[in-house]
Structure 1
């Protein structure tokens, strides 16, 4: 069992306060801090202290995959930690993006290798050959765009905006209320020539202003969507992602709420702080709302236009533990609410083992115990628990503590 120190990633959309306050550092920070990476991804591995020496988690696992991961995990995932845990803090909207399936990632990675594109090149889409399903659990109120809204509702919204320039698009989608219609409309908007895009965006934003003025005080789904389009328009002029936002579910999450973003799900995170867990990949296809590399044709190639529900994850709750278990083999996440009443041995396999785990304390103070080894975690601190460690016991050291545990899913007895 090791204290684990994450790697802070500085991106323009990050927060000057959220990650610093979580980890007990002075705030505001000079640069925006967007993500805290707690894992073994080569781009920014977390580190542990081993016998007075700082070692990356990537190297620690590479030296002894079976001891660190457990024999089953090491065998199934070729000696690599299959998930990446993050804390994400957004002060401004992230890019409009989606992630590839495993087959798409392998094909794209090989294609860009064959083309001689360096792994670190800013115009590279595929930085590895893995898929990147991901899940976020809100730590604060969190705002996002996630998945395409049902076409029938989108047609109603576009017509309610009363923007003449939208009429032919609404009519076309109204005649094809399915994935084909969504694909055609999204593709048309994302590939508009700049002059046509600016004219349509200006008309849409003016329509959103009228729409909001007529519904002052309202906070329904369409009102929030119109307000979001205006916010994005102020931040990203001449960007097709502004009008594309009208097609997506506008989601507000409270602490503990969770979303799962499978391959092909179009999304954009807007504001707030979440714990994020994903397959150990950095493959992102972007379509807009960013200064980073945008590749609309490649994004269109991987998008899933057939799923139109908000991708909520319903937690299973048992004695103070919330288990978030999306349909993937690389990860699951448990949130444990601990107090001083004697809850000392959470029931889930994410804590009990045997499995490699990353634990993160986000509130209060907790104590971890493996055999005769004890490790205290304060707010913002994390730990790496190898798969070979004995059973883990977690206790609160403060009146209330919240601890997340990331690990592999446990197969059901029926399988």
Structure 2
């Protein structure tokens, strides 16, 4: 086991406070958006001053184990992050595996540099992702069922939306087609018409917010839509936000997004895990490169009532001694993540046939291997456990309290 040093991403939407405060530091003078823990070639973590992707390539069987190497070659299948949003991220979706392979090969063939601002596909992998909230976390995630969108439109009483009411047929056999028709219609109308429509929606939204209780879901949605339009006036993402689930996660709660699901994180601090990819197709709410036609190609239009993932209590497992352990099951193979709360003499034993990363998000945790070697980690610090590592025990330092996330294949 070795200490794992993260890579830092300073995107403009990041928070100057959330990650520094997690680390016990003063606010930063520039946004700290993400800390990356993994081996993506764009920004790999390091162990003992060496890039993790190079460490894995030097001895993939030791790092990944036979099972993982056979399935994924020399690639660590997952990428773990801490994400801190003070401003909304772009309206975006991620490609499927087949779409990523085709897009990556196509852009390579066209000679588009991996560092080019107009590059969509940074690698050939898909990017299903799970976000677990560390603070209250606001996300727009997946298309809302049309019956609820019709309820929102009815509340707005906006005559400019009347033209689109026929697309709100929520019969199961029609819902996906109607979502596709409505969204693609909105993104293809002339810019001047789109801005007129948004202006009318905002005016009606301001009236709705003034009339409804603050906690009413329609008031929450329209308050966010109004704020988005203040930041990105007339942007297509403002209309997109009208169609999405607006989810407010509490600490410990999680949401999962599969390939092709339209989303945008709005605010908060969370631990994010995904397949090892940096492929993003953007449709708005960003100064970065937007490629609406490519986004539309990868989108799925299946409505979801709620993208939340139910937590599974694993505290009764044989390898757990007093700790509280929750898992977040997802329908893909690249990653599993557990959240572990430790106090006093609680401990959990880790022994996997593949690699793992242990990330501290609260208190101080200690890892001890079978030879008595110990490593301590404070919030935002992590430990790399290669597949060859024997059993490692995780506990809180000096009988205190700690929270860690354990990510593995």
TM-score, normalized by length of structure 1?
A: 0.93
Q: Structure 2 unaligned runs (5+)?
A: 316-323
2:72 maps to 77
2:319 maps to none
The residue correspondences of 1:97-116 to structure 2 (distance < 5 A) are 97-116=92-111
Could you tell me which of 222, 229, 246 is aligned with 2:225?
229
Please give the secondary structure, in 2, of the residue aligned with 1:361: strand
Please give the secondary structure, in 2, of the residue aligned with 1:345: strand
Please give the secondary structure, in 2, of the residue aligned with 1:70: helix
Please give the secondary structure, in 2, of the residue aligned with 1:225: helix
For residues 154 and 246 of structure 1, what CA distance do their matches in structure 2 show?
Answer: 8
2:91 maps to 96
For residues 381 and 167 of structure 2, what CA distance do their matches in structure 1 show?
Answer: 52
Say if 2:90 and 2:285, in contact at 8 Å, map to a contact too. Answer: yes
Please give the secondary structure, in 1, of the residue aligned with 2:135: coil
2:203 maps to 206
Say if 2:145 and 2:170, in contact at 8 Å, map to a contact too. Answer: no
1:383 maps to 383
Q: Deviations over 1:263-317 (max 9, x none)?
A: 0111000000010000000111110000111111111111110232322111210
Say if 2:351 and 2:389, in contact at 8 Å, map to a contact too. Answer: no
Correspondence 1:47 to 2:51:
no
2:242 maps to 246
For residues 387 and 125 of structure 2, what CA distance do their matches in structure 1 show?
Answer: 23
Please give the secondary structure, in 1, of the residue aligned with 2:42: coil
- RMSD, matched Cα: 1.3
The residue correspondences of 1:6-405 to structure 2 (distance < 5 A) are 6-24=6-24, 26-49=25-48, 54-174=49-169, 177-215=174-212, 217-319=213-315, 320-340=324-344, 342-346=345-349, 351-372=350-371, 373-397=373-397, 398-405=399-406
Say if 2:167 and 2:179, in contact at 8 Å, map to a contact too. Answer: no
Say if 2:146 and 2:170, in contact at 8 Å, map to a contact too. Answer: no
Shift of 1:90: 0.0
Please give the secondary structure, in 2, of the residue aligned with 1:147: strand
Q: Structure 1 unaligned runs (5+)?
A: 409-415
Please give the secondary structure, in 1, of the residue aligned with 2:4: strand
For residues 336 and 271 of structure 1, what CA distance do their matches in structure 2 show?
Answer: 24
Q: Deviations over 1:121-169 (max 9, x none)?
A: 1111111111000000000000010011101111121121011101111
Correspondence 1:406 to 2:403:
no
Q: Deviations over 1:239-269 (max 9, x none)?
A: 0111211101110000010111000111000
For residues 14 and 109 of structure 1, what CA distance do their matches in structure 2 show?
Answer: 27
Say if 1:260 and 1:311, in contact at 8 Å, map to a contact too. Answer: yes
How many residues align? The count is 397
The runs of 4+ residues in structure 1 deviating greater than 3 Å are 174-177
Shift of 1:40: 0.5
Bigger mean CA deviation after superposition, 32-41 or 187-196: 187-196
Say if 2:343 and 2:401, in contact at 8 Å, map to a contact too. Answer: yes
For residues 15 and 90 of structure 1, what CA distance do their matches in structure 2 show?
Answer: 5
1:4 maps to 4
Shift of the 212–121 alpha-carbon distance from structure 1 to 2, 3 Å rule, reads: same
Shift of 1:28: 1.8
Say if 1:361 and 1:377, in contact at 8 Å, map to a contact too. Answer: yes
For residues 244 and 165 of structure 2, what CA distance do their matches in structure 1 show?
Answer: 15
For residues 161 and 225 of structure 2, what CA distance do their matches in structure 1 show?
Answer: 15
Say if 1:354 and 1:390, in contact at 8 Å, map to a contact too. Answer: no
For residues 115 and 123 of structure 2, what CA distance do their matches in structure 1 show?
Answer: 11
Shift of 1:22: 2.1
Shift of the 244–402 alpha-carbon distance from structure 1 to 2, 3 Å rule, reads: same
1:413 maps to none
For residues 12 and 90 of structure 2, what CA distance do their matches in structure 1 show?
Answer: 11
Bigger mean CA deviation after superposition, 289-298 or 108-117: 108-117
